A and B are shown apart, each in its own frame.
Chain A
Amino acid sequence: MATYAPPIPVVSAHRVEREPRGWTSWITTTDHKRIGIMYMVTTFLFFCLGGVEALMMRLQLGAPNNTLVTPVVYNQLFTMHGSTMIFLFVVPMMAGLANYFVPLMIGARDMAFPRLNALSYWLLLAGGVVFYASIFWNPPEAGWTSYVPLSLTSYTPSGGQDAWIYLIHLTGLSSILGAINFYATIANMRARGMSWGRLPLFIWAILTYSILIIFAMPVIAGAVTMLLTDRHFGTHFFDPGTGGSPILWQHLFWFFGHPEVYIMILPGFGIVSEILPVFARKPIFGYKAIAAATVAIAFLGFLTWAHHMFTTPIPEAILVFVMLSSYLIAVPTGVKVLNWIATLWRGTVELKTPLLFCVGFIALFVIGGISGVFLATFPIDWQVKETYFLVAHLHFVLMGGSVFTIFAAIYYWFPKMTGRMLDEGLGKLSFYLMFVGFLATFLIQHVIGLDGMPRRVYEYDNVGNLALYNQISTVGSFILGMGVLVTIVNVVRSLKVGVTAGPDPWKANTLEWFTTSPPPVNNFDTIPLVRSVEPMKDIRREIERRTHGTQATGGATVPTGATQVGV
């Protein structure tokens, strides 16, 4: 006969170390929150550099046959712009957000490998510094795609191309280490009760992002190493004169490059899936469908790379296969958009800045998705590929997509990270400037492309209305830039004078709002038991029940005094 031993209450205490101070503490830190902040600040600086490069290009294209910059400088500008935005802004910015919020959202006290996490950041910074150091000598000029043979020493002898290779190596290594860390953290360190079915959708997105990075990044790392040895150590992987193949580079590059697109957008999908329910005061519509769509997109993302190569000598069977697989990927993506709209449907929508950026994202991403179907249809692609139509498409999904979700995340999580709210008025001004500026810049670029203007040209003749269209685009880009500037002002200002946020200013659903703003070094003193996909809703309900004494409603479902609630 088993004897019943009543549980003995145990006080578990642990020493909370005093927060380190001074600037050296930022160098030695392994705290995921500080590393996250460093990621975000660094990548935002690179975003500003990339933005200035974009504005210089738009200035050059503001008038036909303009002579503001030389062809060499123009080629360097678009190479730096593309590489910066992809490798030094969107991908690591998502890593920064994930760094800060993955442990908080799953109820962990840090990442699985804190020191590796610090290494990821420092590798990223090293990559950025090596790359930008090249502006004092010869910046790279072969485009962010660095097609061979153009990027081989015979045609691009300058060290800038090598700086580009090291950028890919260092940021790629940073991403791979970070991805392994995220995967390990999410797989092993979730709070009690957080089963896979209760994982916040942002965490699903970061998990998928990590898997994509682990599979795709080694391919580009290998490819740029081959490029490096071709350039300096006499190998012939890509040089057609000695039996190499320029097509091989395109395959390797895009085998990485297409999943990279989803590496950049899936975390954004996750951010939107977190923010919409909070401001519609309604659960996410179709949690399982969104999580499943995330995984489906990631899988299909590895089958579509050759749609970047529709104009190469390529067998018909591959053209057809890739068109169909690219169509197929539109289905889960479309499903997500409809789920988001259904989340707003019959809710009570509060038009706060984070929600505005999310809605702006949906509106723009729909356009980018639709133009993507045109590009996936290979006979149409034969006309619009490598033109401003493509430039418009990629900015609709990357800038209207990823960047708008990053701004939504900044406005949504700034109170958690700093303890202060961002100003709503400035936030809305920033949104409207960015939204209008974005449309003015990029909507007209579809037409510029359809009228025959290829991308990556430093000048053009005024055929048809090209001068007018380009002028509109240039004016739009400066409005867009002003919108970004307003957010920078907002952030700097709110750090000093922002309204105190408190732990849960938005009445949100996920665990990061359970702790103080900003969170202490150890994140949580008590980690709550998770009983649904919206743990904070449960906790608020429980607090309400206890403080207002609503036992009459049958409080038996939650045992009174249950420590797992943690309040």
Chain B
Amino acid sequence: MIPSTLAFFTPLSGGSPNANEIDSLFKITLYVALVIFVLVEGALLYALLRFRARKGAVPAQIRGNTRLEVGWTVAAALILVGLAAVTFAKLSSIQNPPNSSSNGVALASSGNRLYASAQRRLPPNGKSLNIQVIGRQFIWQYFYPGASEPDGLGAPYSYEDMVVPTNTTVTLDIESSDVVHEWWVPELGPKFQAVPGYHNYSWFKVLKPGIYRGQCSLICGRGHARMIATVRALPPREFEAWLASQKKQITEANAAAQAARKKLSTQTGAGQVENP
């Protein structure tokens, strides 16, 4: 079977190394599966056609064959042992993020908010661009590094559209503020649930600039189908410019809101204004 003819039967990939590795694991499993599929369905079809009831045909009164039965039980187990071995061999490249490339965004020494744990994995040099992903009905919000205060306040953020630099390892800290959502951008690899009260982790490293589409994949209510997640990958320099302008816009908008509130509170009295 020519791999390209099977392309429509494999997961989306091409955005990030982990997605590519899952794709190749899928393909290996698919080849094994195809062989088993052809053998089993072939045997079934052959048995139906070859052993149709005909005049004079006598059914063989066989009740079993221990050797044969033990044989195919062991064979089935061996195939699965093989698949498990392939999975374990691939596991590290799917789970563990690589270092950022030299042409990625220059990362400060991993930032003080970063920490490693059993589930959260960091690149070997410990440096990654960490984005906090928050699911809420029915929009994704992303917080980027660059908080102006030590407790994380004043970090630039965006909704729905996540902007990331290419050639840079991006680690995701996935949370939810209401119900369970699921972060999934197929071309960038695994999906993970955003569970309120829990942290879940993932990563990707985009090699080519472009737009990668995804959406919430776990039913989260009436707007579930429109809870879109888009990842826009920009060259590092453009990303830095975007981040700076985003931060500036947010700061200016906050300042403008502050002024408006102040003006309003002098007119109507502080008690009438939310967040004076």
Contacts and interface: CB of A to CB of B under 8 A. Distances in A.
Nearest to A282: B59
A331 B71 CA distance: 12
B43 interface: yes
A471 to B, nearest CB: 16
Interface in A346-376: 346-351, 359, 362-363, 366-367, 370, 373-374
Given A247-B198, A312-B193, A386-B182, A379 B91 contact: yes
Instruction: List the 10 shortest-distance A-B pairs measured between CB atoms, nearest first.
Output: A240-B197, A382-B190, A457-B225, A454-B217, A348-B53, A344-B47, A346-B60, A286-B64, A240-B196, A281-B59
Contacts of A337: 40
Nearest to B23: A383
Contacts of A373: 29, 33, 80, 83
A330 interface: yes
A347 B198 contact: no
Nearest to B71: A338
A316 B94 CA distance: 13
A231 to B, nearest CB: 14
B36 A370 contact: yes
A450 B10 contact: yes
A348 B193 contact: no
B37 A374 contact: no
A283 B61 contact: yes
B155 interface: no
A311 B44 contact: no
A285 B62 contact: yes
Interface in B46-76: 47-48, 51-54, 57-65, 68-69, 72-73, 76
A327 B40 CA distance: 18
Nearest to A352: B53
A27 interface: no
B63 A283 contact: yes
Interface in B181-198: 182, 184, 186, 189-193, 195-198
Contacts of A344: 44, 47-48, 51
Contacts of A72: 222
Interface in B139-189: 178-180, 182, 184, 186, 189
A331 B80 contact: yes
A71 B224 CA distance: 9
Nearest to A314: B119
Interface string A295-328: 0000000000000000111011000000110011
B44 A382 contact: no
B244 interface: no
Interface string A153-197: 001100000000000000000000000000000000000000000
Given A316-B118, A346-B60, A71 B222 contact: yes
A537 to B, nearest CB: 10
A287 B33 contact: no
Contacts of B189: 382-383
Interface in A133-155: 141-143, 145, 147-150, 155
Contact of B52 (A286, A349, A456): A349
Contact of B217 (A345, A348, A387): A387
B29 A377 contact: yes
Contact of B220 (A150, A241, A287, A311): A150
A380 B37 contact: no
B271 interface: no
A419 B264 CA distance: 85
Interface of B is mostly: mixed
Interface in B27-48: 29-30, 33, 36-37, 40-41, 43-44, 47-48
Max count, chain A CB within 10 A of own CB: residue among B47, B83, B118: B47
B54 A348 contact: yes
Interface stretch (B101-109, B208-216, B235-243, B245-253): B208-216
Interface string B85-113: 00100110011000000000000000000
A148 B189 CA distance: 26
B36 A451 contact: no
B195 A247 contact: yes
A287 B217 CA distance: 43
Contacts of A492: none
Nearest to B21: A379
A347 B217 contact: no
A536 to B, nearest CB: 15
9 contacts: A71-B225, A147-B179, A156-B221, A316-B119, A334-B72, A344-B51, A374-B26, A374-B29, A380-B22
A245 B196 CA distance: 8
B215 A339 contact: no
Contact of B9 (A313, A324, A450, A457): A450
B197 A458 contact: no
Interface in A446-469: 446-447, 450-452, 454-460, 463
B62 A385 contact: no
A456 B182 CA distance: 13
Given A380-B29, A387-B217, A311 B62 contact: no
A546 interface: no
Given A71-B222, A311-B190, A378-B87, 18 more contacts: A145-B219, A282-B62, A283-B61, A286-B64, A286-B69, A287-B64, A312-B198, A315-B119, A324-B84, A341-B40, A344-B47, A345-B43, A345-B51, A346-B62, A351-B52, A383-B19, A447-B8, A455-B217
Given A351-B52, A454-B217, A311 B9 contact: no
Nearest to B87: A377
Nearest to B32: A373
B84 A323 contact: yes
A460 B180 CA distance: 21
A189 to B, nearest CB: 27
B14 interface: no
Contacts of A507: none
A518 to B, nearest CB: 28
B231 interface: no
Contacts of A455: 217, 219
B114 interface: no
Contacts of B91: 379
A551 B171 CA distance: 84
B24 to A, nearest CB: 10
B77 to A, nearest CB: 5
A68 B11 CA distance: 30
A541 interface: no
A287 B48 CA distance: 21
Contact of B225 (A149, A281, A452, A460): A460
B84 A383 contact: no
Given A374-B33, A385-B191, A359 B222 contact: no
B59 A289 contact: no
A567 interface: no
Contact of B57 (A156, A328, A348): A348
